[in-house]
Structure 1
Amino acid sequence: MNLSKQQIRKIVYEFRNNLSYEDYHKKSSIIYNKIINSKWYLEADTIISYVSTNNEPDTYTLINKAFSDGKKVAVPKIINKEMEFYFINSLDELEKGYFGILEPVNINNKCVPENVCPLMLVPGVAFDLNNNRTGYGGGFYDKYLSRHTVHTIAICFKEQIFEQIPIDEYDIKMNKVITD
């Protein structure tokens, strides 16, 4: 059965909205452990990460771990419908921004992936067995990744993996997808 991006989004939103507190944290913990023990995390000096919202796999714990491991951390901010990443020193440096998602307050320290050894953690609604990604429909990550070369790891719950998802010419494939 071929599902549209809209149908896939509806299925995944319903799944995430119905996750129990316990299941959410258990699944996020499995993903967290896979990431922090991966060669990509261990070799990276910078973690470029989204700030989780709406029952996306937890990134707060990952971000705090990166800080405690002495890594630099950059998170996204939308300005004039363009996404850029800015370094932060603490999760306390975030405030609600675009679509109510936490964003950095200070935008004086922009992250240029080509100048650091980064690992980028990418959100998404759904992924397929070929590491294709369906995002939220704004194209922010696809546009950003078309301008920058960076190793991408998408993180999601296993229920967000489909055999095949519809893709278009602008969709950027992930280097790796990690699930629970």
Structure 2
Amino acid sequence: MNILAQKRYLRRELLDRRAQIVDRELRSAQIVGHVLALPAFLHAHAIHCYLAIGSEVATYHLIAAALTQGKAVVVPVVTDDGRLGHSWIRDIDMADFTTGSHGTLIPRRIIPALPGDWDLTFVPLLGFDPQGYRIGYGKGYYDQLLTATPAYAVGLAFQDQACPHIPHEPHDRRLNLVVTESGAREFAPAQVVSIW
């Protein structure tokens, strides 16, 4: 089986595995609790964080905490033509968001941000391995983003998403850290710069 076929198979398996987790809200709260204690979060002036959809680790309370602490927050925006953009947000009131392409939430008012404008990136994922490799939905958005910015990269995942090995290609970017309900796991230095 070639690497693309391996990834397709693994994505289906991991989507099913994540969907089976019945206490995602509780586990998400535990994950956010660990994140709020991270030195990388405490020292960050601006963060980039996805707006969770489906069975992803919920990020609403993480974003709300960042805003309350006076941190600037950027969210990803998938445009109608399939590109990944970024927008600053001023609050996390769901009335200020709408559903964009791919079912993702986007701000009704886009305030453009550029890679490098923030110092900490929170990354959604389907699975992760002990080397810090992740597998996402296959669009390559976050691999491109992590290549374009020196921000510290933190994956948010449930422990059930851990894998012994994620097949990876040269363009796949490693994470600096993954936070699960069990705590934070740091990996050997990746291509991004630590702000610890």
Instruction: Flag whether TM exceeds 0.5 (same fold).
Output: yes
The unaligned stretches of length 5 or more in structure 1 are: none
Alignment partner of 1:176 is 2:161: no
Alignment partner of 1:161 is 2:162: yes
Q: Distance in 2 between matches of 1:33 and 1:159?
A: 18
1:134 corresponds in structure 2 to 135
SS in 1 for 2:154: strand
4+ runs of 1 displaced by more than 4 Å?
none
Check the 8 A contact 2:53/2:103 in 1, yes or no.
no
Deviation at 1:121, TM superposition (A): 0.3
SS in 2 for 1:131: coil
Deviations 1:41-95 (A, max 9, x none): 1000112100101111110110111111111111011223221211001223221
Of residues 156-165 and 143-152 in structure 1, the stretch that sits farther from structure 2 once superposed is 143-152
2:88 corresponds in structure 1 to 87
* Alignment of structure 1 residues 68-107 onto 2, 5 Å: 68-79=68-79, 80-92=81-93, 93-107=96-110
Q: Distance in 1 between matches of 2:32 and 2:58?
A: 8
2:9 corresponds in structure 1 to 7
Alignment partner of 1:110 is 2:120: no
Between Structure 1 and Structure 2, how many residues are aligned?
175
2:18 corresponds in structure 1 to 16
Aligned-pair identity (%): 29
Deviations 1:115-146 (A, max 9, x none): 44x21100111110000011101111111222
1:65 corresponds in structure 2 to 65
Deviations 1:2-31 (A, max 9, x none): 9921222122211222222xx112211111
Question: So what's the TM-score if we normalise by structure 1?
Answer: 0.91
Q: Distance in 2 between matches of 1:114 and 1:15?
A: 34
Q: Distance in 2 between matches of 1:30 and 1:65?
A: 14
SS in 1 for 2:116: helix
Coordinate RMSD, CA, aligned = 1.6
Deviation at 1:113, TM superposition (A): 4.1
Question: So what's the TM-score if we normalise by structure 2?
Answer: 0.84
Check the 8 A contact 1:84/1:144 in 2, yes or no.
no
